[in-house]
Structure 1
């Protein structure tokens, strides 16, 4: 399945997203490789209800890491998929729940011996470990993998940032992004759209591939225009470089301190600051998290309710094997850089 690109402007920067196919769910890397064990989905029903499940992602390398566990109904499926990888639940050393919704953390009980992360809580058994995720600081696992705060969908969402893959830097993002084309829906699912917008812009600037919570992974392609010279620079972020804008706090993502590589990036759409900039203002501590007003009649949970087949055509349904090509498919995918 081929994918088309969708453009997203960020002042003088332009991001393009292109969805990977369902045959591209294995991303090789050194030292970590990534396998999407299950592609999340959200399916609207005629009675106004919906069916949804979160993406489940496995990292293998120096540590064996699972990001999100699906819903409780996925228990047998998850055990089987791990067995397909010659793993038992006891082989998982770290489980990261990107946030506390039931379709993302429904099988934590399979992993009593693992370190468990749910949002900003990190525990080993009944022992909770100190961290500064809720203050906007990353939690490094090693030099290649870090847990990074990506609030907005809920106040304590986190993502997993993985460096050193053949596709570049990969962000396993939970519901920071629903799917490749989610701009029609993510705000109505968000507890704080302004904060989530900043988190999303940071993710677009610092990732080559994003694995969303309810759809196929997608690539990020970037073109930038230097307003002073008119120079156009195209391509994804390199693993060792961070496109840093004025006043942006480098610690918003681990291991991405300004290196002098790559062009600079201005502030986000409409002047929205980066997550690091928002959280690092005033000594690095964010202000109190306040949920944005939510329209009456819309669920605050997993998925936006939708109306009829016309909405499905706009991208509500997110699994190509169930409903045919997604809104991202049908065109020619264009990559702006070679694989690492």
Structure 2
């Protein structure tokens, strides 16, 4: 199911997670659901009037099975570069494995048994890099390579799993799903201080905020 949050900003409700489509300089797919969400992603794109082959860029907030799972299935038709933080991009390319010494890394290693590396161009994105109208912000903690993307022009922030939304407020990623919760809190404060104003807060889990997104992020940063 696809829901248009604002003109050109679509949310795809998948299996316990959300992906997004944003009409920027090109159609941008943001995260990609679980390996069992292929049909839902395809249907969401169709509802938004976009074919898989029309997607011009994929922005990944991070490597987790529920955020990269459909990429391999979409790859035969998807002719777009995938951008992710360096640590997470290396995992997605199959160049490194999540570390077993970390509880989240060990879980990712297990979940990776259900994931297939996509046959796509995967590039590491640097902090401060511009991709269309979006600026990338390195926000480690949930994963070492977690990235948030903010477009001042569109008033949209792609927050991934740095935070979750609950009852119209934002909450930091919790210990059991994060590599380092202290780093999560530091990243929340850093993003709140550095990011330009935005209305729409797109999150992986919970209901996205259609307005007041930067105020909600600032309120979270002030109370943690």
Alignment TM-score, normalising by the size of structure 1: 0.47
Q: Residue 104 of structure 1: SS of its match in structure 2?
A: helix
Deviation by residue 1:100-129 (Cα, 9 ceiling, x = unmatched) = 111111111214421012333399966665
State the shift of 1:27 in Å. 1.7
Query: Runs of 5+ in structure 2 lacking a partner?
Result: 94-117
Question: Is the CA contact 1:95–1:117 (under 8 Å) kept in the aligned structure 2?
Answer: yes
Q: Which residue of 1 aligns with 2:159?
A: 173
Between Structure 1 and Structure 2, which shows a larger proportion of helix residues? 2
Question: Is the CA contact 2:82–2:122 (under 8 Å) kept in the aligned structure 1?
Answer: no
Does 1:216 find its partner at 2:195? no
In the alignment, the residues of structure 2 paired with residue 100 and residue 217 of structure 1 have an alpha-carbon distance, to the nearest angstrom, of 20
Question: Is the CA contact 1:35–1:57 (under 8 Å) kept in the aligned structure 2?
Answer: yes
In the alignment, the residues of structure 2 paired with residue 182 and residue 130 of structure 1 have an alpha-carbon distance, to the nearest angstrom, of 27
Q: Which residue of 1 aligns with 2:177?
A: 189
Matches within 5 A, 1:147-162: 147-162=136-151
Distance 1:193 1:58, change over 3 A: same
Q: Give 1:86's match in structure 2, choosing from 49, 54, 72.
A: 49
Question: Is the CA contact 2:172–2:184 (under 8 Å) kept in the aligned structure 1?
Answer: no
Question: Is the CA contact 1:171–1:203 (under 8 Å) kept in the aligned structure 2?
Answer: no
Q: Which residue of 1 aligns with 2:6?
A: 27
Q: Structure 1 residues 177-186 or 110-119, which shifts more? A: 177-186
Matches within 5 A, 1:31-180: 33-38=8-13, 53-109=16-72, 110-111=74-75, 112-120=78-86, 121=89, 129=123, 131=125, 133=126, 137-142=127-132, 144-165=133-154, 169-180=155-166
Question: Is the CA contact 2:18–2:203 (under 8 Å) kept in the aligned structure 1?
Answer: yes
In the alignment, the residues of structure 2 paired with residue 117 and residue 185 of structure 1 have an alpha-carbon distance, to the nearest angstrom, of 22
Query: Runs of 5+ in structure 1 lacking a partner?
Result: 1-22, 41-51, 223-235, 238-242, 244-266, 271-340
Distance 1:81 1:183, change over 3 A: closer
Aligned residues: 184
In the alignment, the residues of structure 2 paired with residue 116 and residue 174 of structure 1 have an alpha-carbon distance, to the nearest angstrom, of 15
Question: Is the CA contact 2:84–2:122 (under 8 Å) kept in the aligned structure 1?
Answer: no
In the alignment, the residues of structure 1 paired with residue 34 and residue 48 of structure 2 have an alpha-carbon distance, to the nearest angstrom, of 20
Distance 1:156 1:269, change over 3 A: same
Q: Which one has more relative contact order, counting CA pairs under 8 Å at least 6 apart?
A: 1
Q: Which residue of 2 aligns with 1:46?
A: none
Q: Residue 67 of structure 2: SS of its match in structure 1?
A: coil
- Rg comparison, structure with higher value: 1
In the alignment, the residues of structure 1 paired with residue 35 and residue 122 of structure 2 have an alpha-carbon distance, to the nearest angstrom, of 24
Does 1:198 find its partner at 2:198? no
Q: Residue 153 of structure 2: SS of its match in structure 1?
A: strand
Question: Is the CA contact 1:198–1:268 (under 8 Å) kept in the aligned structure 2?
Answer: no
Cα RMSD, aligned residues only = 3.4
Q: Which residue of 2 aligns with 1:324?
A: none
Question: Is the CA contact 2:141–2:162 (under 8 Å) kept in the aligned structure 1?
Answer: yes
